[in-house]
Structure 1
Amino acid sequence: MSSQLIFQEDSYVREFDCKIISVNEEENAVVLDKTAFYPGGGGQPCDLGVLETASNTYTITKVKKKGDHIYHYIDGKLPEVNEACTGKIDWERRYKLMRTHTAMHILSAVAWRDYKAQVTGGDMELLKGRMDLEFENFDKELILEIEKKINEEVENGRSIKIDILEREEAFKIPDLIRTKINLLPEGIREIRTVEIEGLDYQADGGTHVKNTTEVGKVKVVNYKSKGKINKRLYIELED
């Protein structure tokens, strides 16, 4: 049985009722009939939080997708199969990751729109991230220009929409895959898309804010050359 993936539909759900449908003693993990916990991917770390039952509170130390299931790793004794519980996301942490992920999309959108620079890699933490882009030349002036454009788009208050499309329909969208390598396996028939209205449209599975103004001020704090046409930018968001 596959779990209902609440985080794909609504990134703002921070508490939800669910049921344990299986336990894995070797992994010390449980599978839920529905989950709002993001399992990590695309550079975004997984969510953390707790599961509460009528008698216990279980700390979730990691969430990971394995095959068709999402494993919620428990600190300590496992709950029982079919036990009803309430999942609670560490919301402060999740929201910072949502803001950061959206900031990364704005950065990649600006790089593509204005410089036709593709993404070659990336990673993020709470309120900070790094992105590798196909730039041949980089200097302080260009960095300041990119930073200014990112913050202009944040302040533009663009709405962010999530959709799930059939693969054939999704790949009709120009530049849907912004990375240098298409990381979507052929077997995936439905593609989740994230649209920053008027700016960006990408295939993406992570969590995002609803409006760019929620991102807050973005600072490009460093940059490095990672090769002849590969440059790395580091960004940080104001807390």
Structure 2
Amino acid sequence: MELAPTKLEYYHDTWKLQSNSTLLSFSKGSDGRIALVLGSTIFHPQGGGQPADTGTITGSDFKFTVQDVRSKDGIVYHYGVFEGSTGRDFEAEIGEGREVLLFVDGPRRQLNSRLHSAGHLLDVCMQNVGLGHLEPGKGYHFPDGPFVEYKGTIPQNELQRKQNELELEASTLISTGGRVLVSVLPYEEAAELCGGCLPDYIPKGSTPRVVKLGNNRGCPCGGTHVSDISDIISLKVSQIRTKKGMTKVFYSVGS
């Protein structure tokens, strides 16, 4: 059976942590884990520098622990194990097309969203402290050493001063707060919110998803985010490295 793209419910509601869906297919990998494919999901797959959600998927007679989530060609795969599955043929027992309930681990989603939003906040701070000439690159928003990367360098004798300015600017923005808006928009509207243009990898005529922190310009993003800038709580810039035409800003968020 050819599978349709998975409907991404978190795209429209980051804080929908419980939902129902339909089991479309499942398969068993060489590592023993089973991959479930659903008609829709609230689980965020690993990607965009953000780790995957974890949680559970349950049916009337089973519980499936979601350990990892990945997306390929628009289809989301939920990897994990059935509770108490040793020696049981779940493939024969469960069947496809049945309704299931989804439960996302809330504290993990909250931490991942804060780390991801903090990366976007640093982009804003870079503009505000006079580093807007550096072109944003990739970001790594995992708990073990998150960073954002930019094309371009900062003179070595300015690194400490810029680090202090970034941290102060982030602290000011967090204490002031501001709504974080996430919208799926027509291409032209998305471009306008993002300063007049979008990256080349976004096809013209598409409907990009844009995140906008407070009154600052938006940027295209498929991740999960906080509801208000103040929900980041605190941000510490631990280090800035600049080398070979690239600058990395390492950071952490408080609890």
TM-score, normalization by structure 2: 0.84
- Structural mapping, 1:81-96, within 5 Å: 81-96=96-111
CA contact (8 A) 1:127 1:237 kept: no
Aligned residues: 235
Q: Which residue of 1 aligns with 2:241?
A: 224
Q: State the percentage of identical aligned residues.
A: 20
CA contact (8 A) 2:193 2:217 kept: no
Counterpart Cα distance in 2 of 1:176 and 1:87: 38
Counterpart Cα distance in 2 of 1:187 and 1:142: 36
**AA matched with 1:219:** K
> What CA deviation, in whole Å up to 9, does each residue of 1:112-163 have, x standing for no partner?
3432122122201138511112333242121011100011111111101111
Structure 1 residue matching 2:185: 3-state secondary structure: strand
Q: How many angstroms does 1:88 deviate by? A: 0.7
Q: How many angstroms does 1:167 deviate by? A: 2.2
Counterpart Cα distance in 1 of 2:176 and 2:144: 20
**AA matched with 2:249:** L
Distance change (3 Å), C-alpha of 1:55 and 1:72: same
Structure 2 residue matching 1:115: 3-state secondary structure: coil
Q: Which residue of 1 aligns with 2:174?
A: 154
Segments ≥4 residues shifted beyond 4 Å: 76-79
Distance change (3 Å), C-alpha of 1:174 and 1:62: closer
Larger radius of gyration: 2
CA contact (8 A) 2:241 2:247 kept: yes
Question: Is 1:237 aligned to residue 253 of structure 2?
Answer: yes
CA contact (8 A) 1:48 1:90 kept: yes
Which deviates more, 22-31 or 32-41?
Answer: 22-31
TM-score, normalization by structure 1: 0.89
**AA matched with 2:12:** E
Counterpart Cα distance in 2 of 1:172 and 1:5: 24
Structure 1 vs Structure 2 CA RMSD: 2.2
Q: Which residue of 2 aligns with 1:36?
A: 42
- Structural mapping, 1:72-151, within 5 Å: 72-76=78-82, 77=90, 79-113=94-128, 114-116=130-132, 117-126=134-143, 128-133=145-150, 134-137=152-155, 138-151=158-171
Q: How many angstroms does 1:238 deviate by? A: 0.9
CA contact (8 A) 2:153 2:243 kept: no
Q: Which residue of 2 aligns with 1:196?
A: 213
